[in-house]
Structure 1
């Protein structure tokens, strides 16, 4: 853990409240200020800008420009006040390393003089003078406070967030699960929650008050574990770079700090890191004669299609980044072993030889893995482009297993409600059985408040019910799609439909309800618990991607799963990250969905 063993032993003796004799304080204590008076019971110090003298025990040392440039101190148990809203700990900012020159260590009682200031919300002392204290034979003890998540509702109401613990020594006795890993590489941070990762409220509850209750519980259930450093892209961490969301961290002891809007635990000791969510090498079995998948490609743009043209309008910023992105996506698709895949967020640049979808298809056919990867084709709807957005949807299929019947179909009606991203429908026939089914790939409007110059207003504004911006347009697009499919746009004369894609809507949101109300079966929701996920947003998890089957097709589905190769991984393992490698992991920010189907068998 990169921690000095002798410091840990001193620290453990201190939190066990082992009494240690010290000499008398002497006359210098006459001007002492107590830390709880410095901290006060608000968000900032009532003594900001004043010079003070304190006497306290050193609890954690983070000296050096590559760390926090200081150390933490705390009042001994005998000196704390009876106000639960005031903290007894304080950060000593010591860029001159005066404490290091004095030879202080964890467990030392020190006299420190300096100015009180607020640094990005953290109350701290800018150190001017320090020396070890002579307590005159008096006994002292300091006990670590036990922090249990989620915080009680009353405690949050009485004092905002965790301000009462700022600068204090804490023990976190629970097993905590990594719920966000987005800042691991950049800032050395992991977000943790008790029991399990935090759900997107509308994935597990109805919009409105029920979802608001989940969001409020989430707010009380999260804490950031920092690396004890203020550096961006630190060289080392107190936890391995290989951790994934869903892994467990046990036995954390550290100090509560605060910076840039977040409370953080600066670790002194971590007992154990449990790999409770290992990387899955292969998807879970789904059975069936045919395997169908959906994958958001996170902006697959191939430049000018001739090896240049980077940075593209979206996606890769250079040829090397694109080559990494391409390699990762090809490996993922190859390992899925699917017969047809719906693609989302692929460059909307047509269907010629230099187009993005042609490039991806060529890459699949060029793979030499002994698994028949040379048999792929893509659907060309006979249009210059599919809608007016920069990104579009598409299909790649295995021509030895299925074949398209008739032409692909699309509609612009719902597209104007979904950011000019038109759906694509194609009827396929299984070669072995001559059974037909129709696939429809869609990508509904995102939850961003502003999109392509348009601002979400009226019914599209965030109504505070958990569904975010543009919910009205997404819902109307879903209803329009349902009406369009009821007209049999591909002329299949077959009731078997499967809608797949990124719907920017979670399980209990209005667009997904519209599909369910029309009779479509949510294949993931019907087989997996509400906590299942394909995407993470700010440490909260849910199904942003869906497989929705018509009733007749649902009876022929043998299984459905989400392959967790992307969302659990740090973003830096993606194609543009500093930890990237040409494997399938973090080939996108969405996890792929896979379904197994045995057409003609409705007795499953």
Structure 2
């Protein structure tokens, strides 16, 4: 068994799958090697004299090599005519346009994450030649296959347990279409950007601009059966500046190159030529200020904010609160780290972090917010090790009062109690069922009792468990397993239990549940909450329900839900997720409550 490990540019270890026992060398063409399934029928074999024209060269990193393409395709639409030749950390001495004849061993390369093996990874494989030698036989040209709105099927993938060895149906399924073009040169003309440029010189485009399009130029994930087949990741093979593109921008002209596959997003166009970047003019949003009789409650994931974070991050986040959100009365924050940030030193207090943030908000022209939170037990709530992220409340004391009740700590559960003729909390702030298994290695919800113009409001700030461990949309296991969903369902049930306790005492109680719930409005994880509360996002058209952009899908992870006793106006304020320059990876949202 031979396993070669290499370090990709992202710093994640990948592995080449163990190959079958090699047999005698044989002549082959690329379509013979690629075959009609995802796994080569010649895997483990030594092939010789494979002809083609070089279409792209990766001359950087430790996964170098080149793509080449057969100029005499067969008649089978399932068999790709392109192939990658892996040369390790050696830059191959070939150029685009060289006609070559290649000898090498056929392998299936599975990009794996830590703890995975080629057998267990949910990622698809890439058919490659390794240990290769080649001769340059002349010059040649190659066609780029145009990908337009009708090219890629809208249906995403077969719904079988493992699609590895199924015969490809490129006319029916998007993943099969892309697989049948693995290694071939594709071109998308005048592509619209649906995922902003990231830190790794990558962005996302769509070949289907009308597919679940939202009003700001993105493509919205509206259901598990709507994976948005037009999405395609773009990286660049050129040693040239990469555009800092936002959602809604365009790449005018052709963006073309060989089609690769990565565990970071699936199929990726390795562009030898990028279209001209044309900004779409997208601007950060602002919301209107709350009226005198409206209580503005917001949620904002501030992405690992610590006392030692860059002052520019504090300033940008503060501007988002003051200008974008119009200085809400109450802000539920997620991902507030302890004072020492990711240093794993036993520190759990976050007063310095929150003081720095409230100072920044005041410097940006906002009110002097006060805060309430509960320090977690060290390294018990997940997130970045040592960071001790937690949820916290900011509130404007000129507009709203916080009702402090003693007894709240990291391990004591909060409950509603009768307090004479009025409902109260056993502790304020308090945590919901912190010892419940639902919150293992996850943030515990924080409940606070507020008074607005003499009227009582209970606010529950949440940050549910992440989607880490879920299988990807683009993987070989279809439909992908959502293994993390089980914990979020339990978390939603725990919060629902608290809501039911409150309403059992006072059915007209004013309750707001909000935060980063790490799941979609259509997910089973939201069902326990929507069974008792009103999801304010339902006031928007489905395509406009999003606060996060992931792999080119605009999606809804952050939510505000209210009890039936409340009427509200709701606004997602898009200031981060669609932009290459982000203060956080989430957009905040606000509800203006009337009661």
Normalised to the residue count of structure 1, the TM-score between the two structures is 0.65
Q: Identify the residue that residue 166 of structure 1 maps to in structure 2.
A: 182
> After the TM superposition, which residues 329-478 of structure 1 pair with which residues of structure 2 at under 5 Å, given as runs?
329-335=317-323, 336=325, 337-347=327-337, 355-357=349-351, 359-361=353-355, 363-365=357-359, 369=363, 371=365, 373=367, 375-379=368-372, 389=381, 390-404=388-402, 407=405, 409-410=428-429, 414-417=433-436, 418-419=438-439, 421-429=444-452, 434-443=453-462, 445-447=464-466, 468-478=485-495
Q: Identify the residue that residue 256 of structure 2 maps to in structure 1.
A: 253
Counterpart CA distance in 1 for 2:282 and 2:288 is 17
Deviation sequence 1:397-426 (CA, Å, 0-9, x none): 222223335646355554444427143122
Q: Identify the residue that residue 561 of structure 1 maps to in structure 2.
A: 571
CA contact (8 A) 2:336 2:353 kept: no
Change over 3 Å in CA distance of 1:287–1:422 after alignment to 2: closer
> After the TM superposition, which residues 173-572 of structure 1 pair with which residues of structure 2 at under 5 Å, given as runs?
173=189, 175-179=191-195, 184-186=198-200, 188-193=201-206, 194-195=208-209, 204-205=222-223, 211=224, 213-214=225-226, 217-218=227-228, 220-228=229-237, 236-237=240-241, 239-240=242-243, 242-250=244-252, 251-258=254-261, 262-276=266-280, 278-280=282-284, 282-285=285-288, 287-289=290-292, 290-302=295-307, 319=308, 321=309, 323=311, 325-335=313-323, 336=325, 337-347=327-337, 355-357=349-351, 359-361=353-355, 363-365=357-359, 369=363, 371=365, 373=367, 375-379=368-372, 389=381, 390-404=388-402, 407=405, 409-410=428-429, 414-417=433-436, 418-419=438-439, 421-429=444-452, 434-443=453-462, 445-447=464-466, 468-486=485-503, 495-510=509-524, 512-518=526-532, 520-537=533-550, 539-554=552-567, 557=568, 559-569=569-579
Counterpart CA distance in 1 for 2:315 and 2:366 is 18
Q: Identify the residue that residue 146 of structure 1 maps to in structure 2.
A: 146
What secondary structure sits across from 1:360 in the alignment?
Answer: helix
CA contact (8 A) 2:36 2:78 kept: yes
Counterpart CA distance in 2 for 1:512 and 1:71 is 46
CA contact (8 A) 1:443 1:504 kept: no
The reply on whether 1:118 has 2:112 as its aligned counterpart is no
What secondary structure sits across from 2:577 in the alignment?
Answer: coil
Counterpart CA distance in 1 for 2:524 and 2:263 is 35
Counterpart CA distance in 1 for 2:468 and 2:189 is 40
Q: Identify the residue that residue 19 of structure 1 maps to in structure 2.
A: none
Runs of 5+ in structure 2 lacking a partner?
1-25, 110-125, 158-168, 340-347, 382-387, 406-426, 470-478
CA contact (8 A) 2:236 2:273 kept: no
What secondary structure sits across from 1:226 in the alignment?
Answer: strand
CA RMSD in angstroms comes to 4.3
Counterpart CA distance in 2 for 1:384 and 1:225 is 42
Deviation at 1:396, TM superposition (A): 1.7
CA contact (8 A) 2:193 2:246 kept: no
Deviation at 1:528, TM superposition (A): 4.5
Deviation at 1:341, TM superposition (A): 1.3
What secondary structure sits across from 2:485 in the alignment?
Answer: coil
Change over 3 Å in CA distance of 1:299–1:92 after alignment to 2: closer
What secondary structure sits across from 1:270 in the alignment?
Answer: coil
Larger-Rg structure:
1
CA contact (8 A) 2:305 2:353 kept: no
Structure holding more helix per residue: 1
Normalised to the residue count of structure 2, the TM-score between the two structures is 0.66
Deviation at 1:363, TM superposition (A): 4.4
State the aligned residue count.
Answer: 474
